[in-house]
Amino acid sequence: MLKNEPKGRIFFGILLLLIVVILCFCYGFSIKSHIWLPLIAIAYFFAYRYDVALAGLGHVNADHVVVFPAVLVTSNPLLIGIVGGFAYILERMFREGIKKVNFGHILSLLFIILNTTLSSHLFLKSGAFGQNTSLLQSYPLLILVLVVFASFGFFLLVLDRIFSKSNFSIKIWFNHLLKYSLFLIISSPFLALFLLALAEQHISFIILSFIPLISSIWFLRVNFKLVERNEELIQSNKKQEFLQQLLLQETGSLENQDFLRNFLQGLGDFVKWDRDFLYVQSVEFEKEPVVFSSTEIPLDPHNVIASIEGILNSDNPLKEPLLSSGKDFIPLLDRRSKFQLIVPLATEEISFGILILEKFDAPFFSEPEIKFVHLSLTQIARFIQDRILKGQLMLTNHTLLKQTHFLTEILKISNLLKIHLSPHEILEEVAKGISESLGFQRVLISLYRKDDMCFERFAQSGLDEIWNKISEIKPPESNILRHFKEEFKIGNCYFVRNVKTTAYTIVPNRPKTDGQDFWQPDDALFIPLLTSNKRLLGVISVDEPKDQKIPSLETLNALEILANQAVHALESAEIHSEVKHHAVVDGLTNLYNHRYFQESLTKLLKQSIVMNTPFSILMMDLDNFKEINDTYGHLAGDAVLRNIGQTLIEVTRKDDVAARYGGEEFAVLLSGLDKFQARMVAERLRSLVEKRVITDESVNIPLRVTISIGIASFPEHAKEQKELLKIADLALYRAKQAGKNRVAEGP
């Protein structure tokens, strides 16, 4: 009972007890008229039972209605005080339970004994309501005694607050003293009548005066209750206004010191405390927790924060207010505190803060106060939660839009697989898609040339101004592969900070940006183009994000997907090119086949008619090829055919079409050449074949062959495809007839 009481208050209680003991020895009393004591005790009990609470100042009751009639009957002030004191203890036990009786109740008992004894003694000594006294003589004395009764009780309460070093307002206390004195004065006329009836021992007068006395007391009690109720309504309205203001404040951020200060000060108008401490985890922003106090920061704030974080991070976070006191209570903020209220800043869904309030002295935090503090914090928590949910909704919407762009670009790349674009066209689309959908101002795609040990810059986006210059530069493989280290790897991407510039670096003209989350000019991000068997095809490098921030994991994942799609497209284009090559190229000579020659002739004829440009056909046949096959075998014949095919490839231009027409026959389309130019090419070709010595492991001796050539030109010789072929064939026949190893032209 005494463990958490201030030493000054304990000393004050002992002092009062000694005074009471001295009074008992010095005053002395005999229990006369003991038949009245049970009735007096019952009257005291009901007077204390039907009292009116005054916030922070105990209770206003009608014990004066019992005190003065009782002392008039018994003439023993000390006995009446003791009976009144113990009646008070019994009533509090009945009201709150035996376990709730504390040192404060014992002090109240001593207050009642001393106050009652002094006031009753003064009442008896004044001679009021004695024999042969009139109401006009007795009433002023009664008023005086009542004022002493109220004042001395007030004085004892003030001494209690002083000895316990409690904070209290003299102005508020004095205001309540006036109210209590008014309560006494209003009831005093009826009390005076009752006392006069007792003094004269007039039974009927006693009964008649008792009824208005009790009625007046009950009326005053009801009036006090109505006033109290009215004040509660006013306070309730103020609380509602306070809660509404919390919703209306645009600065309702828990990172705003002014908002926190105004909030705690506003809350302090309704709930009193001595120490406070607010801790808020940063749910909206990845920042340090918010710590705030409107009183004094605890001596060991780290210990307080650790305790709070233990509560917040537990498996069952605090959702309801927690009130602590008693002998085992250990305050967190101030060792002088006797009561502690811990209120969560939480909703049903999230818990992200704690408010600790501590009081040095009684009374406890009342149930309405606890509910109001909890409601206020819940109001803020819901407001913050709404902001979080709105932010998350906007972020989710933004993410979905980005994912839609990503999927659109991925689908675009996938569609490229179906139309068989060239590798250059594929990579140009990939670079453009990365720039537009993922927000990089510069995109560069380079293909890996393993045989040459370098990278060839193949496609780009955002580098038009310098592309002609940088596309001719082929960085060595070491310049790129040095970045493919595990320490830089994020997924399948490589993000490198502070890249050392080299002669092959494309340096952006951009200043550095403050902040760890921002992209710097010397940052680099590489996405290798790897096949399923980890063969390196090339690399995508991106630079200068439009938002100037380091790419998110989501962006990196999208880059990986686009890189994989690019690899699939390249592999598909490579396979398609290879299949197409085999479909139009003769496998032995590496020349185009007969079908491709005919299709090319058809296209060239149409083009030449429209453009009015010439072209020529060389129709060729190996001389005496059958003798080579018969003499040296078909393997030797194949070697001769391969050699002729290589010669044709060396002589013809890129736009020309050299084909194996059939067997040992060959044909060449010479785009843009008339018959004179065609004859020069034919003579050069015939001469090269004649001079070339063919060696092959299939024959023991070097071989030499010759070739006969027939020429047909558009439009001099013919203007139709069949006619041109016929003329070229006839010219070849004439060259054969003229002795072979010759060039002839038709018709």
State the catalytic residues: 664
- The closest of 532, 528, 438 to 483, measured between CA atoms, is 528
3-class SS at 534?
Answer: coil
CA distances to 52, 67, 190 from 218, rounded to whole Å, are 11, 17, 12
Find the helix or strand (DSSP H, E) in which 175 lies.
Answer: helix 170-200
Count of CB atoms situated within 10 Å of the CB of 214: 15
Record the tokens describing residue 121, joined without a space.
Answer: 């003694």
Query: Which residues are bridge partners to 461 per DSSP?
Result: 443
Taking each helix axis from N to C end, the angle separating 7-27 and 77-96, rounded to the nearest 10 degrees, works out to 140
Find the helix or strand (DSSP H, E) in which 12 lies.
Answer: helix 7-27
CA distances to 121, 188, 328 from 80, rounded to whole Å, are 11, 20, 38
Q: b/e string for 95-108 if b means 16 or more Cβ within 10 A? A: eeeeeeebbbebbb
What span, in angstroms and rounded, lies between the C-alpha atoms of 429 and 409? 9
Residues contacting residue 161 through CB under 8 Å, at least 6 positions apart: 168, 361
- The closest of 632, 623, 605 to 725, measured between CA atoms, is 605
For residue 319, report the phi and psi dihedrals to the nearest 5 degrees: -120, -20
Whether residue 463 contacts residue 506, with contact meaning beta carbons closer than 8 Å, is answered with yes
Residue 627, class by beta-carbon neighbours within 10 Å (0-12 exposed, 13-18 middle, 19+ buried)?
exposed
- The closest of 220, 214, 226, 131 to 180, measured between CA atoms, is 220
| Three-class DSSP labels, 224-281 | HHHHHHHHHHHHHHHHHHHHHHHHHCCCCCCCCHHHHHHHHHHHHCCCCCCEEEEEEC
Count of CB atoms situated within 10 Å of the CB of 647: 17
What span, in angstroms and rounded, lies between the C-alpha atoms of 298 and 583? 87
What span, in angstroms and rounded, lies between the C-alpha atoms of 437 and 540? 15
What span, in angstroms and rounded, lies between the C-alpha atoms of 724 and 711? 9
Record the tokens describing residue 563, joined without a space.
Answer: 């890189």
**Encoded amino acid at 505, one letter:** T
Query: Which residues are bridge partners to 489 per DSSP?
Result: 494
Record the tokens describing residue 358, joined without a space.
Answer: 């501590």
Tokens 């949910």 belong to: 389
Pairing outcome for strands 440-449 and 536-545: antiparallel
Give DSSP secondary structure letters for 86-111: HHHHHHHHHHH-GGG--HHHHHHHHH
What span, in angstroms and rounded, lies between the C-alpha atoms of 609 and 613? 7
What span, in angstroms and rounded, lies between the C-alpha atoms of 388 and 172? 44
The DSSP secondary-structure symbol of 661 reads: E
